Amino acid sequence: MIMNMIKKTFFLLPSSKFLSYSWNYGSMLGMVLGLQLLTGIFLVFYYGGSMPFDDVQYIMYEVTGGWVVRCLHFNGASLFFIFIYCHLFKGLFVGGYRLYGVWFVGVIMIFLFMGVAFMGYVLVFSQMSYWAAVVITSLVTVVPIWGESVVFWLWGSYSVVVSTVKLLFVLHFLLPWVGAVLVMMHLLVLHFFGSSSVLGCHSDYDKIMFFPSFWFKDGVNMMFFLVFAWSFLLWPFVLGDGEMFLVSDIMTSPRHIVPEWYFLYAYAILRAVPSKIMGVLFLILSVGILFILGVVRSNMMFNVSSKIVYVFLFSGICLTWLGSCAPESPYVILSVVMTYIYFSMIFFLFSMAWVTKMIYY
């Protein structure tokens, strides 16, 4: 029975004959997730959480081969989000939101892995990660009535302390396995509804067997991973921040708090809204707004929707850059403009899909 499931999943899976290399992002995500789980298990052996910053330095400089495992885990997070965003925009380009079950599970996974990545960032307990934890966890205070109590429970004290790190450490270890279960659900739903294609067709008429036609394209993933390992072992902290090498100081905050690059667009949206409550709402909607696309299950004119997605992609890239800039003029004003464009494109895409559905269906 198990062999039959493996055979149907990896050999006899009907796939569109027009799939390009951009459909590799999903399999690449699976490989990077496996790498993160494996390296995470090895890191757990030497990370206790009682002295988080010292534990990281011990892994880097005292454990044999520890720096290799830690650098792979550290840069694997960046690679994971590169593929997440590529996979997401590919889905937007080809109208993957029409497969509503696959789309919903995918958006839930984005939320989950963003939380996991934030927890892992805090575990280093450097100067930047400490103050990032203070800022982000403090946002929970906007919850009416229970907000401050929840923050106090998360901290385990009146500020971010070692007990906070231990809580996040446990969650950071457990939640990726929940994510692995969601990945399996994502694949099961995908195989039930069928994969999207550039023609917008989800039926079996344009499909062929996955093996051997597409195994070569997935084999390209292995070559990419060799390049990834080589480059990130030569320049292990090229995507890091200089503050990550400084131990946390609760008395002095960095002049400019900046999260990891894959959170910068959401951080720019948060800063663009002057109200704290509305800022948190828009922060959640920066990803949550993707849910609304799944409620429209209709075909669209590809050339129209792709132009909207290009503008949406441009606004996301601009917000990522603006998130790394100081919160001053003209960057704040530009953040407001790009935030407006970012959300407008999603609503416009939703409106076009809804109108098309009303006209043709």
Active-site positions read 191, 195, 217-218, 260
352: exposed, middle or buried (Cβ count in 10 Å: 0-12, 13-18, 19+): middle
Q: Strands 14-16, 207-209: parallel, antiparallel or unpaired by DSSP?
A: antiparallel
Region of 126 (left: φ > 0; alpha: ψ -120 to 50; beta: rest) is: beta
174 Cβ contact list (under 8 Å, min separation 6): none
- How far apart, in Å, do the first and last CA atoms of the chain sit? 41
Nearest to 228, CA basis, from 121, 116, 74, 88: 74
Q: What is the dihedral of CA 152, 153, 155, 159, to 10 degrees?
A: 20
CB count within 10 Å of CB 280 equals 17
Q: How far apart are CA 214 and CA 179, in angstroms?
A: 26
Contact between residue 61 and residue 134 where contact means Cβ atoms under 8 Å apart: no
* Distances 94 to 23, 196, 305, 319, 361 between C-alpha atoms, Å: 11, 7, 9, 24, 20
In the structure encoding, which two tokens stand for residue 244, read together?
């990550």
Q: What are the phi and psi torsion angles at 172 (to 5°)? A: -65, -30
Contact between residue 304 and residue 352 where contact means Cβ atoms under 8 Å apart: yes
Enumerate the β-bridge partners of residue 207: 16
Helices 24-44 and 66-93: crossing angle in degrees, nearest 10, is 150
Helices (H), the chain: 2-10, 24-44, 52-61, 66-93, 100-123, 127-138, 147-155, 162-193, 210-213, 215-234, 264-272, 276-288, 302-323, 331-360
